[in-house]
Amino acid sequence: MNQNNFTSLRQLKKVFFDERTTRGFISFLSDRAKVIAPCKKGENSYSFEYIQNPDEVVFDYPRTIQPLKKFFLPPRETLFNFNTRENSFSEPDIESEDRIFFGVHAYELQGLLRLDHCFEEGHPEYNYLRRRENTLFIGISYTPDDWHFSRSVGIEIEKLEGFCLYFEPLDSGFLVFIVNEAGKNLVELFGKGAEIDNDENFALVEKNFRVKIKFHHNRLPQVFENVYYSKVWEEISRKCLGCGTCNLLCPTCYCFDVRDEIELDATTGKRERFWDGCMLNSFALVAGGENFRDPLSSRTRHRLHRKFKYLADSAGDLFCVGCGRCSKYCPAKINIIDIINDLIGDFAGQQKRVLI
C-alpha cells in the first residue's frame, strides 16, 4: 500500500467485522436491495452473481471472468419491438432497481466509471444510465496475481472513488472503512461491528504488483502516438487468433452491433443490440465486402490505441484499468504487458535515434 492510500484510509472512520458479522451484513443488505457479489464458478474461476445466500460470497478472489458491465450493458438486449404494418414501435421497460454490489475491486469500479463517461457524453445512453441508477458499490482489497497491473495505469488497490464502504481483510475479519454518507447509514442501520478509534493494532500490509509497465502511465499516450508503425503489431498478429475474447472480457470495451430480427409474418420484429469487438473479423466489414481492418495487426493496433491513446485523449483517463483479463484468458497467451513494454522499447529506441 503506498503512503498516500494509507493516509487516505487512516483518515476514514472504520469498524471491525469478523467473518460471521460480514455474512450477516450481506444478509442485512439483501433485505434492502438486490445484492450482487463474487461467487465461485468453476475450480479456479469466479463470477459476479445475484446472491441468494450470504455463504455463497467469496471474499478472496483474483478477478471474475466477466466484468461488472454485464449488469449495465447486457451481452444482448432488445431495444424496441416494431410493427411495420401499423408503423409503430414499443420499447421494453428498463428496470431501475436498488442494487448493491459487494466485494468489488477498485480496477473493476474504475472500468465502470469509464463506461459512465462514454454513455453520459454526447447522446446519453438511456438503457445504460437507467440501470446505473440506485446502485451502491462496496469495495474489497485483493492480492495482485501474475496478470494484475492496475497500479501501472494509475489505479491503486485501495482507490476509494465510487465506493460507499471499503473492506480490508485482516486475519480475523475485516476493517470496514466508511467512505461516504451512504456507507455510514448502512453501517449504522446494521448496528453491529466494533468501532475502531485507531488502527495501531492492525497491520495493513503493503501489496506489490508482480508485473508492471516500464513507463509511468502519464507517458503512455505519448508512446502510442509514436508507435503506429511499430513492427510489434505484426509480431503479435502472428500468434493472435482473432477470437475477440480480449474485447468481450474487457471492462472498458463497449462496442456493440445492432440487428433487426423479423418474424415470419414479415410485419413484426425486434431490434436487438449485442456486444461486438474490434478484434473480430466482421467488426470493420462493410457492404460490398470491404474490410477496413482485416489484418490482425491493424485490429490489435486499434484495440490498444483505443485504450491508451484515443479515449485517453478525449476522456482524460487511460481506458485500460489493469485487470489482466485479456492476458489471462487469451487462448494464444498474448500478454498485454509484453505488448506495451515492447512498444515502449520501440519508442525509447526512436528517442535515442533522434538524440544521436
Size of residue set near ligand SF4 by CB under 6 A: 25
For position 334 contacting ligand SF4 by CB under 6 A, the verdict is yes
Tell me whether residue 241 or residue 258 sits nearer to ligand SF4 (CB atom).
241
> CB-wise, 14 or 159, nearer to ligand SF4?
159
Q: Contact 163/178 with Cβ under 8 angstroms? A: no
Q: Which region, judged by CB under 6 A, interacts with ligand SF4, from 182-190, 222-230, 264-272, 325-333?
A: 325-333
Does the protein bind ligand SF4 through residue 332 (CB under 6 A)?
A: yes
Binding status of residue 58 toward ligand SF4 by CB under 6 A: no
Region 259-288 residues binding ligand SF4, contact defined as CB under 6 A: 279
Identity of the residue, 168 or 317, whose beta carbon is nearer to ligand SF4 in the bound complex? 317
Strand partners, 15: 176, 195
The continuous run of DSSP H or E covering 341 comes out as helix 336-355
Considering beta carbons, is residue 99 or 303 the nearer one to ligand SF4? 303
Sheet of 99-104, strands arranged across: 46-50, 34-40, 99-104, 135-140, 165-170, 173-178, 13-18, 194-196
Candidate residues 75, 92, 331, 349; the one interacting with ligand SF4 per rule CB under 6 A: 331
- Shortest spacing between CB 6 and ligand SF4, in angstroms: 25
| Biggest distance spanned by C-alpha atoms of the chain | 73
Interactions with ligand SF4, residue window 228-257 (CB under 6 A): 240-246, 249-252
Kindly state whether residue 154 participates in binding ligand SF4, applying the rule CB under 6 A. no
Q: 115 or 321: whose CB is closer to ligand SF4?
A: 321
In the block, residue with C-alpha cell 471492462: 251
What is the separation of C-alpha 106 from the centre of its chain, rounded to a whole number of angstroms? 9
Q: SS in 3 state form for 192-223?
A: CCEEECCCCCCCCCCCCCCCCCCCCHHHHHHH
Q: Which positions lie near ligand SF4, rule CB under 6 A?
A: 240-246, 249-252, 279, 307, 320-326, 330-332, 334, 336
